[in-house]
Amino acid sequence: MTAHTRIACSAEKSADVLHGCITADGSSGFKAEAGRYHLYLAWSCPWAQRTAIVRGLKGLHDVVSLSYVDDERDERGWVFRERRGADPVNGFTHLAQAYEATIPGYTGSVSVPVLWDRETGRIVSNDESVIAADLATQFEEWGDPEVRLYPPHLRAAISELNADLETNLSGGAYEVAWTTTQVEYEVVRLRVIATLERMNARLAERRFLFGSEITVSDVWLWPTLARFDLLDNPLGKISERGLTGFPHLWAYARDLYQQPAFRDTTDFNAFRRDRPGVRQEGPERIAVDPVEANWGKPHGRDRLSAQ
């Protein structure tokens, strides 16, 4: 099962200790309740940002709380520091403590996002696709019912598109920097460019990926686009054309950015970082510099909503 094939909370998933899920009726063991859950996120992390965007779009600010780890990890992984604030829920110094509280003796990867349950004092899930789907569908008692991010009739298509974007765009954009041979570099970067072109064409006549309403596919795509010109492209040397060189995609990205759920969860400064360990040797790469784009420029895409 890939991250994007999950449609609803399943017993199989909830039995896995870090892949629990929330249900409106509580049948999964985690009932949707106001004030019960907390998200631990990192500003740099696209997966973490996706959960924050869903929370914002659904209007769950007063229902599910949220805080950020520091931008820099230490030898124990994600850490809370003054810069991004202390842990307001548990007073942890390290996110590893949340994992340890859930699985004593935990030695696995300590990643964000983390959805924490105040009631049972443990992590419900550290899986973005599960957390996003639960926030999008299980909090209807509080969330904006007009915002249908994961409509049942589109779920199969959404899963397919998100898997495509994950493999060919976000995954690919990350991988390019790590390629070691010329062939590998060219194959991966051309796959990324082809996907950008496909999405650019798809968005020529549609305001969002599935038409006039935002879905979790848009939430998936956007954090990748937001990081492209400052992080993935200059680091991996993927495309001579930056995001701003794909006109429909760039206008679409600005359209989303100009909505609070996207803008308020974005700190471009968190993307202006190197990834430790990226190799400088290896393939001969094209030249790409970071692009400082004007995200506030009018997008002109309202006209597409009516279609």
Ligand X SMILES: N[C@@H](CCC(=O)N[C@@H](CS)C(=O)NCC(=O)O)C(=O)O
Active site residues: 45, 174
In 3D, which of 213, 64, 216, 91 has the Cα closest to residue 150?
216
Chain centroid offset of residue 282 CA:
30
Counting contacts by CB under 6 A, is residue 171 touching ligand X? Answer: no
CA distances from 63 to 32, 85, 98, 283 (A): 9, 20, 21, 49
Sequence-distant (≥ 6) Cβ neighbours of residue 23 within 8 angstroms: 9, 30, 31, 32, 134, 138
CB nearer to ligand X: give 111 or 215.
111
**Near ligand X by CB under 6 A: residue from 128, 166, 175, 218:** 128
CB nearer to ligand X: give 109 or 294.
109
Counting contacts by CB under 6 A, is residue 20 touching ligand X? Answer: no
CB nearer to ligand X: give 162 or 195.
162
**Near ligand X by CB under 6 A: residue from 30, 43, 47, 210:** 47
Distance CA 278, CA 281 (A): 9
Least distance from ligand X to the Cβ atom of residue 232, Å: 12
User: How many residues belong to the site for ligand X (CB under 6 A)?
Assistant: 14
Least distance from ligand X to the Cβ atom of residue 77, Å: 5
CB nearer to ligand X: give 47 or 246.
47
Least distance from ligand X to the Cβ atom of residue 18, Å: 10
Counting contacts by CB under 6 A, is residue 112 touching ligand X? Answer: yes
Least distance from ligand X to the Cβ atom of residue 306, Å: 35
Counting contacts by CB under 6 A, is residue 127 touching ligand X? Answer: yes
Distance CA 33, CA 278 (A): 42
Sequence-distant (≥ 6) Cβ neighbours of residue 161 within 8 angstroms: 209, 217
Counting contacts by CB under 6 A, is residue 143 touching ligand X? Answer: no
Which DSSP symbol is given to 23?
B
Distance CA 22, CA 130 (A): 9
Distance CA 97, CA 78 (A): 10
Counting contacts by CB under 6 A, is residue 113 touching ligand X? Answer: yes
Which residues would be at the binding site for ligand X (CB under 6 A)?
3, 45, 47, 73, 77, 109-113, 126-129
